Amino acid sequence: MKTVLLLCASNLFMTTAWYGHLRFKGYPLWGVILASWLIALPEYALQVPANRFGHGTFSAPQLKILQEGISICVFLLFCAVYLREPIRWNHYAGLALVLVGVAVGLHDPGLTPR
């Protein structure tokens, strides 16, 4: 559970770093790049421990698959709440397909991680 919470928090920071500036198009590009880097720093401080704590419970590919599923969920929530962009049926359908992929990737057919 600790891994999932850290991944959620790290994805919130990274999504903000990558897309938060879209509401501030009047600011110079160099300024939003600098701000994005400062926002991304805590993302790394959360992502690295998430992977460290999670490896062993999850394999490295499972950690990446889990991170991508969380990333899409966080991004859609960010779009709706912060950017106020509508989430359409095809976005939800795409999310559902990604989550099916995550479930398949996290399925352990009897193999144990190192």
pLDDT band for 107, please (50, 70, 90 cuts).
confident
Q: Is residue 42 scored above 60 in pLDDT? A: yes
In a domain, 33, yes or no: yes
**Overall number of domains in the chain:** 1
- Which residue range(s) make up the domain with 102? 2-106
pLDDT band for 34, please (50, 70, 90 cuts).
very high
In a domain, 112, yes or no: no
In a domain, 20, yes or no: yes
What does the pLDDT look like over 48-71, one tens digit per residue? 999 999 999 999 999 999 999 999
- The pair of structure tokens assigned to 89 is 């049926």
In a domain, 87, yes or no: yes
Q: What's the mean pLDDT in 25-54?
A: 95
Q: Give the closest residue to 65 by CA, choosing from 16, 99, 14.
A: 99
Asked if 61 and 105 count as a contact pair (C-beta separation under 8 A), the reply is yes
- Residue with the bigger pLDDT between 66 and 112: it is 66
In a domain, 81, yes or no: yes
Q: What's the mean pLDDT in 39-47?
A: 94
Cα-based torsion angle of the residue sequence 20, 22, 28, 33 in order, rounded to the nearest 10 degrees = 40
In a domain, 111, yes or no: no
Report the alpha-carbon distance of residue 69 to residue 96 in Å, rounded: 10
Q: Is residue 101 scored above 80 in pLDDT? A: yes
